[in-house]
Chains A and B, each alone.
Chain A
């Protein structure tokens, strides 16, 4: 990157980071209950026990805003990596089976093994995401023409549909055991407990660091395997690290919020419009913009029909589906 571009990128990064900060403040300032900004500030700076408005800001809104930021960043970076490594503009954890695998594994882990609220939830989600990814890749590779964007999408839809059918059957056949999954399955940041988030936090951090570390090589991979190899990139190693990062990030996001659709698809494309095709910029900008996006979407989920709340995943899907259709028409 030349000096001018670096200055632009750095300025843009700090502006976006400031935007996320503003989104965070907006998130904790608005909601079903109108709380004056002065009280919001008081709740942050000098909280008092027994003041309900302080409880709302500190115990309800702030954790949720933190979850939104983390989940948005994780899914966006996962999507960016997938699109770069597979050179598939439609790649993202939801479409390529990782989210379905992670969701399925969490349901099995909690429903049948009683792992709710334990450190095993992200682990189960990661195993599920990995199996989901491998299944989708294997099925797509076996198709005539191999793992093309189209066969990957079809394979992802098939695997997702299959896992969803098993989930539905499990829930229908044992509604008592699975009664707690109703809202989580629609992708929700409401009512998530901090303990689960803390268990997922190391996974978030590890995934983001890995993504940042391999960003330069992903740029080369996005130009084609031969080009990347010619530039001295160990393509197999980078693919393995990228897969690991994607799995870890998806698992952490699903553990906290359930399946939030299309975040990993929309954000990298938006970011690419502004920063180009260099993954050293796409990865950090996807993290920041994704964090801000889910935070703002969650504000909408909380206030549009207040006091009734809608699942954040419903809003992300409503916003992401048209982008997906546009991408299919434009790039497939």
Chain B
């Protein structure tokens, strides 16, 4: 029987070994991501980001060598990278970053012509992963609701700029400490992230960097947002405008979009389209704790955005009346 045991053990080792670690070439390393394990360059030199305001933005901020990015077309039919243009003044005309297509319409030929050595996308981009993988090693970073920084941390890791990430994180945490000291009133205060859109009401369980900053500061979600988060909703849902009073919280947050030419009054007007006279039915609004922030800063996880959000929220909360009781 012994030779049989030996053969069985050898077979086990043989079949188990490939699953333990990917065998990568010199200068490459195995990287675990939402799409599995992929060999990527240890120090990538030519990276394409598959989403402007999440992936590309983080890469640019951390000083990673980005050569191409997903982009958008504005009302004037000009290409741009949302938030990247606003925060870092970068556009496709600058020559540093090439246009790799729009959402759901990526330009694979243009991407191949850029000869990238790494492509970084989100979990949502995995649908066409074979096409990306034919161009260069591709990794997909998951959005983890329970650990929002896992996304930028994953991008930094893939791009080989984890040291810069750690430095930036330390700066943010120091800023956070100062903000928490300045805002003792928000410890345990509730908030609702609401938004009017096309005459409808939207409520959010998560809103990217804004949710993180609010949680870091000590805010807690209101009941409706928490119920959504408990159901695993990462972002938000369109809900009946009839439940507006259920969205009552100590603070209300809403967003406007600079790229759309919104004014600070537009978010409230959009809510008014959903529920005429909405403000009068929420104490937080009538008492001046309805805070509007630019979406370009609110959704991303770049440290520039997080630090900016900290400052904006601190100023707005500090200058508004504290909730009663």
Contact = CB atoms under 8 A, between A and B. Distances in A.
Interface of A: 31-33, 50, 52, 55-56, 59-60, 172-177, 180, 182-184, 190-193, 302, 306-309
Interface string B97-129: 000001111000000000000000000000000
Given A177-B75, A190-B200, 17 more contacts: A31-B240, A32-B243, A33-B240, A33-B243, A52-B245, A55-B281, A59-B276, A60-B241, A172-B105, A173-B105, A175-B72, A175-B102, A176-B72, A191-B198, A191-B199, A306-B240, A309-B238
Contact of A175 (B73, B241, B275): B73
Nearest to B276: A59
Residue of A174, A180, A184, A302 with most partner-chain B CB within 10 A: A174
Contacts of B104: 172
A162 B128 CA distance: 24
B102 A33 contact: no
Contact of A32 (B75, B198, B239, B281): B239
A55 B245 CA distance: 12
Contact of B242 (A183, A192, A307): A307
B275 A309 contact: no
Interface residues of B, number: 31
Contacts of A173: 73, 102, 105
By secondary structure, the A interface counts as loop
A191 B200 CA distance: 5
Nearest to A171: B104
A176 B260 CA distance: 7
A55 B75 contact: no
B273 interface: yes
Contacts of B27: none
B259 interface: yes
A192 B198 CA distance: 8
Interface of B: 72-75, 77, 102-105, 198-200, 237-246, 259-260, 273-277, 280-281
B274 A191 contact: yes
B73 to A, nearest CB: 5
A56 B278 CA distance: 11
B252 to A, nearest CB: 16
Nearest to A59: B276
B166 to A, nearest CB: 35
